[in-house]
Amino acid sequence: MTVLVTRHLSLVTMYFNCWKCRQKIEYPSGSRVGTRDICPQCGSDLHACCNCQFYDPGKHNQCAETQAEWVRDKEAANYCNYFRPNPTLLASADTGEAMQGNCSGS
């Protein structure tokens, strides 16, 4: 006897904010932020260190991912394979904290 099990997966939407203008960005589940993707409000690059979960000015190379290569301009688009949108940016925008232009050290 063969039992066919199907799972109905509902689409989940990922949200994060633009590091520069705090615009809420929406991406469907399973999609990736591309190197050419820009914020629809301010035109800033979204696939940039300033928008990454691993961005940490206090770490070596300003990145918590130890295998990532040095990126000179933290505000510009890059080809880092370790990039992950920073969920903390969304949380800080939702609580009303102003972090506009918080990325420095490029």
Condensed to tens digits (0 to 9), the pLDDT of residues 10-39 reads 567 778 889 999 898 888 777 889 999 999
Q: How far apart are CA 56 and CA 21, in angstroms?
A: 19
Q: How far apart are CA 13 and CA 2, in angstroms?
A: 34
Q: 87 Cβ partners below 8 Å, 6+ apart?
A: 16, 53
Cβ atoms of residues 51 and 27 within 8 Å: no
Give residue 6's pLDDT.
45
Give residue 75's pLDDT.
96
Spans of the chain, pLDDT less than 70: 1-11, 89-102, 104-106
Q: How far apart are CA 93 and CA 17, in angstroms?
A: 7
Give residue 106's pLDDT.
42
